[in-house]
Structure 1
Amino acid sequence: MFEAPNPHAIAAMAVTVTMFIAFARGRYPEEIISLVTIAVIGVGLYFAPLPGTRPTDGLTLAFAGFGHSALVTICALMIMGRGLVVTGALEPVAAGLEKVFRINGQLGLLVALVAAFLMSMFVNDTPVMVLLIPIVMAIAAKGLMPSSRVLMPLNTAVLLGGMSTTIGTSTNILVVSIADDLGMDPISVFQFTPLVLVAGIIALPYLWLVMPRLLRDNSVAPEQGARIFHTRLRGGEPPMRGGTLPEGITLHNHAETDIGPFHISGTHEAIADAARALKGELAPVWIIERIRQISKARGEDIVAVEMTVTADSRLIGHTLATSGIADLFGVAVLGIHRPGANAAEADANPVMREGDVLLVMGIDEDLSAFSRADALLRLEGARELPRRSKAVLAAAIMLTAIATASLGLPWFDGGQYAPIKLPIAISSLAGAIAMFVTGCVKFDRVGRALSAKVIVLIAASLAIGRVIDDSGAAAWLGEALSLGLAYLPPALTLAAIMLFVTVLTNFASNATAATIGTPIAYNIAAQIGLPPEPLVLAVLFGCNLCYATPIAYQTNLLIMSEGGYTFRDYVRAGTPLVAIMVAVLSVLLVLWYGL
């Protein structure tokens, strides 16, 4: 006889539903709701412990998420992603994709979606997304497409690709392993790949054309009257002879052919792009090299800041050549902005006057000394320059972390090649430590890579997953599901199993959904006379349909702060896709297995 759920299971389901409603309504910040959820679970289990546990065990369960390997993994991956950004390691890849986006934004998004899907078929979803996030952010910074309208579709494409092979995600491996232990015939790596490819083709128009429209535009409106800096580009490829100037750059000395320096103007980002594209420098080479050597010796970052010349500055009446700035302070002036000057009047080396804005590069200590000594007003918005000397090293660290988790460490057992795959938590933590040790990421800047909101949200989701599992709520829901499936046609049976597992994976965890759903599906198949494989695959697919909440999968949380998403964004954009995929995959399973 089917029994009612126990009080702890009822309470667990009530807390989960309440948390979901609070997130969906959006009246309170996600981090506040997360902390309240953790407190409710901890206090509740302290005064009403689970059977066979002590009151303090409930506190351990509630707060265990802060020390969970999943949280360590996500934080480590964020740190490695920060290393790729601050070293400029992914600039070549970003530049290539940027060209496609400049041709057409929709074409660029399509190319990115297809590439993400294909990569995640063979490499774990999380490292793939970690590689893609800084590339997307670089493209968004150029104003080509808002990150909020790219990251979620891209993340979903990665999840779809990971669903297509048994090695695509650790959850797939778990489902296949449990089914194998239950006595089902082994499932090969590409056995169900055609089904996912067809479903992916059907889902692609939604990801490409519909989902971005359901997400708000988080791009920052371009600053009105953005400062245009005039400078001299030294060395490199002459722009008039084969060199290509980036968008937003004006070349002023058109009459010159091969003789530099060349007078150009543009925003800070534009002139920096021009220097990279033409392999030149925006200041004398000797001072640039000196700054880089000092940065390396001191272990400090190079920054670029804007400074206004005040009425008391000694620079008034001097040009850059006569000011002695580089000799006296060891900083380089990259460009000068003169308010109110038009392009025809501007000069790359003018006599400085009150109100001019200098774009200055150097070590922070030297920049501060320069601004104090010469009576300059330092403006907000200092920018760290990429440590490009460590770009190859940062890329190597990231690729090694991915390879050890996805392909494994080379190892021979009894003369046979048997690679040892490291858990993603171990490989990512080792990669983050390597980023610190090698100086790719400064330890005192690590806070810029992490999001407090994401951290407490992860902790809350892990606590919810544990209490749903330990209280018996998940098992009771599975038992309730099995009672009604015997009377449904095969397509609806598959859809019901898939939808049940999808709900579990979006509110508990992939592992919980796989652990509970796989035996249930296998037993239901025996009871109603269906082959077990399609029902087990329904569980596997359901575990991967984790688009509707940020807590469903760690890549959802990785993109949350970068895309500026709220819980409601995941529900609004992800729920329709879940419905599409459940319907499509159920029908495909029926057709594929002739049910």
Structure 2
Amino acid sequence: MFWDSLPLLFVAALLVWLLVSFVREKWSPDVVAAIAVAALLVTQILSPGEVLGVLSNSAPVTIACMFVLSAALERTGCIDALGNWLGNLVGDSPVRVLAGLMITALVISAFLNNTPVVAILTPVAIALAKRAHSSPSKLLIPLSYATVLGGMLTMIGTSTNILVDGVARKAGLEPFGMFEITPAALVFAGVGFVYLMLFSNRLLPDRDTLSKQLRPDLGRTFMTELLVPHDSPVIGKTLHEANLNGGSGLQVLKIFREEQEFTEPAHDTLLAAGDQLVLHGQVKDVVELRESGHLSFNRSDAFETISSHDVILAEAIVGRNSRYSHRPMRDLDLTARYGIAVLAVHRQDENIQGNLDDLHLQFGDVMLVEGTPAQIKRFAENGELISLNTVQERAYRRDKAPIAIIATLAVMLLAAFELMPIEGLALIAAVTVVATRCLEVDDAYKAVDWKILSLIFGMLAISIAMDKVGLIDLIVERSMAAVPNASPLMILGFVYLLTTVLTEILSNNAVAVLITPVAIGIAQSLGLDPRPFVVAVMFAASVSFATPIGYQTNTFVYNAGGYRFSDFMRIGIPLNILMVFVAMLVIPRVWPLVAL
């Protein structure tokens, strides 16, 4: 008996490891899922044929094609034109700016992947905030939330909808129509819109972006790196003699000398040629040090910045497909390639400054860079970064815009009339925009988030293993025991709440794959139509508001807006709770909880 239960125990333990690994983020989620699938193959719980069978699921192919369509609309300037139109429409009223930005994001993200929508509209939001004499932190979380709510409106609005539909089809449910979820989703979007209009200004901080934090007139401090050249007159002098002991407003925190590191250099520490200094001080002091010879030596023969001396500071955020991500900055050689300097990097709730050579950039990191506008523009374009100071000018293929628009509309309308399954229409449209050169083939490949697709395939295989060993049935049984004698409505709320909580700490796509079979099993055990329970998972796996890690758009604006983790909790937890009640009121009205 014990040996018979070993596969179930192994898969359960593997699932726990999977969830813990997602939270710890030692490896990326796609790698974690791949390791789990490999373990299932080694233990022969899954056969190679069963693993490769997940490739027959149409959802990942549809998601990849929608990435390509989104990129085509971006490349042809459609979204940029809409952003410019929005800026001319809303004027400088903070209320109109907030409303206009959210409505625009809601509408666009109903038909496009919401991560590029946020990436494109973030510079627009910052420019609008400046025009309205407000802070970008008042707009960027509402922007992210609006794209999340907009993605719920149609089946192609977010990868989660497509994925849940694919899993449900495999379980024998009828496919969801293009606009089947729209009436219910409009209620969610309307409630979220009203909530943000009423409370975002009160609950969100008035916080500066990184470049504002480092403005000399604000008197804030930061760290930077300097090098002692071989001909510097300060060689052999102590920090006190070089006026770097705090009296000048500058303080040396670390000295790197070949293989040595002085973490707390004393006032009498002697400087040597080649020393790399990490200094802490106000921006104005560092600017004076580098540009006006504020100390008692000339700039040309004293300290040299590791970065270049140039005219403006600008912010750039690391995009999803940036070639700079996951590589140490020393390997990027940015100064030699572009002539720009990275002065600071902001990640989540900290500014990572000093000893930047060893830093591995990540999606969402905000870099404070120095250089000419042309240098910064070339640096951002080549590395697929997004400039946050101004809307980035690009060579859009505007003459191809009608093709991209028609292709996207054709997918929606033809799918709505059920002339062809959505996966076929999406594939035809994706091939069309590439064949007509709305974007190049290389750009199409870059547009697809292969990590998300790898994660989806891995989670689909794990879901098969859970079903094969009886783990899904066990979870359904234990879930029902946890809510004995509860009404179907309360159980629907339980499914929605469970999915929401998991989505806040895990990948939304991973949660969707894991919970959808459980939700179907719970409905079937009650003798009810599984469709409303599947919709509950579909919506709950999208509406991630309480943390910056549950959804990519939240992660993106987390750094761009200079937010703290608690900012998301303050505004997101009440909204999540509100959505639970909306789900319990709306979903049963559109999809009645009736017996099969």
What TM-score does the superposition give when structure 1 sets the normalisation length? 0.52
Indicate the SS of the match to 2:112: helix
Which residue identity is paired with 2:413? Answer: L
| CA distance in structure 2 between the partners assigned to 1:131 and 1:148 by the alignment | 14
The residue number in structure 2 matching 1:15 is 14
- Could you give the per-residue CA deviations for residues 502-540 of structure 1, whole angstroms, max 9, x where no partner exists? 67885656476455534632552x5xxxxx57x853542
Cα distance, 1:218–1:396 mapped onto 2, change above 3 Å: farther
Which residue identity is paired with 2:18? Answer: M
The residue number in structure 1 matching 2:80 is 91
Which residue identity is paired with 1:431? Answer: A
Indicate the SS of the match to 1:85: helix
The residue number in structure 1 matching 2:522 is 520
Cα distance, 1:179–1:13 mapped onto 2, change above 3 Å: closer
| CA distance in structure 2 between the partners assigned to 1:77 and 1:107 by the alignment | 31
| CA distance in structure 2 between the partners assigned to 1:409 and 1:188 by the alignment | 7
- Greater Rg by CA: 1
Identity %: 17
The residue number in structure 2 matching 1:421 is 420
State whether residues 498 and 541 of structure 1, in contact with CA within 8 Å, keep that contact through their aligned partners in structure 2.
Answer: yes
The residue number in structure 1 matching 2:40 is 45
Are 2:157 and 1:157 aligned? no
Cα distance, 1:4–1:213 mapped onto 2, change above 3 Å: farther
The residue number in structure 2 matching 1:408 is 414
- 1:150 deviates by 4.7
State whether residues 179 and 536 of structure 1, in contact with CA within 8 Å, keep that contact through their aligned partners in structure 2.
Answer: no
The residue number in structure 2 matching 1:480 is 478
Which residue identity is paired with 1:79? Answer: V
- 1:18 deviates by 3.1
- Could you give the per-residue CA deviations for residues 281-335 of structure 1, whole angstroms, max 9, x where no partner exists? xxxxxxxxxxxxxxxxxxxxxxxx9999xxxxxxxxxxxxxxxxxxxxxxxxxxx
Cα distance, 1:15–1:564 mapped onto 2, change above 3 Å: farther
Cα distance, 1:434–1:491 mapped onto 2, change above 3 Å: closer
The residue number in structure 1 matching 2:258 is none
Cα distance, 1:203–1:8 mapped onto 2, change above 3 Å: farther
- 1:545 deviates by 0.8
Which of 565, 582, 590 is equivalent to 2:580? Answer: 582
The residue number in structure 1 matching 2:124 is 139
State whether residues 409 and 421 of structure 1, in contact with CA within 8 Å, keep that contact through their aligned partners in structure 2.
Answer: yes
The residue number in structure 2 matching 1:342 is none
The residue number in structure 2 matching 1:393 is 400
| CA distance in structure 1 between the partners assigned to 2:446 and 2:177 by the alignment | 42
State whether residues 154 and 181 of structure 2, in contact with CA within 8 Å, keep that contact through their aligned partners in structure 1.
Answer: no
Which residue identity is paired with 1:34? Answer: D
- 1:95 deviates by 1.1
- 1:420 deviates by 1.0
- 1:408 deviates by 0.9
Are 2:441 and 1:443 aligned? yes
Q: Where in structure 1 are there 5+ consecutive unaligned residues?
A: 226-265, 270-304, 309-355, 361-377, 411-417, 527-531
Which residue identity is paired with 2:403? Answer: A
| CA distance in structure 2 between the partners assigned to 1:570 and 1:10 by the alignment | 39
State whether residues 68 and 444 of structure 2, in contact with CA within 8 Å, keep that contact through their aligned partners in structure 1.
Answer: yes
| CA distance in structure 2 between the partners assigned to 1:5 and 1:503 by the alignment | 33
| CA distance in structure 1 between the partners assigned to 2:410 and 2:61 by the alignment | 19
State whether residues 501 and 542 of structure 1, in contact with CA within 8 Å, keep that contact through their aligned partners in structure 2.
Answer: yes
- 1:35 deviates by 1.1
Which of 69, 92, 95 is equivalent to 1:103? Answer: 92
State whether residues 306 and 357 of structure 1, in contact with CA within 8 Å, keep that contact through their aligned partners in structure 2.
Answer: no
State whether residues 163 and 509 of structure 2, in contact with CA within 8 Å, keep that contact through their aligned partners in structure 1.
Answer: no
Cα distance, 1:481–1:126 mapped onto 2, change above 3 Å: farther
| CA distance in structure 2 between the partners assigned to 1:562 and 1:480 by the alignment | 38
The residue number in structure 1 matching 2:23 is 24
| CA distance in structure 2 between the partners assigned to 1:456 and 1:215 by the alignment | 37
Indicate the SS of the match to 1:407: helix
| CA distance in structure 2 between the partners assigned to 1:358 and 1:511 by the alignment | 45
Aligned residues: 412
Q: CA RMSD in A?
A: 5.7
Cα distance, 1:224–1:399 mapped onto 2, change above 3 Å: farther
Q: What does residue range 537-552 of structure 1 map to in structure 2 within 5 Å?
A: 537-547=532-542
State whether residues 87 and 128 of structure 2, in contact with CA within 8 Å, keep that contact through their aligned partners in structure 1.
Answer: no
State whether residues 105 and 143 of structure 2, in contact with CA within 8 Å, keep that contact through their aligned partners in structure 1.
Answer: no
- 1:93 deviates by 1.2
Cα distance, 1:195–1:179 mapped onto 2, change above 3 Å: farther
- Could you give the per-residue CA deviations for residues 257-304 of structure 1, whole angstroms, max 9, x where no partner exists? xxxxxxxxx9999xxxxxxxxxxxxxxxxxxxxxxxxxxxxxxxxxxx
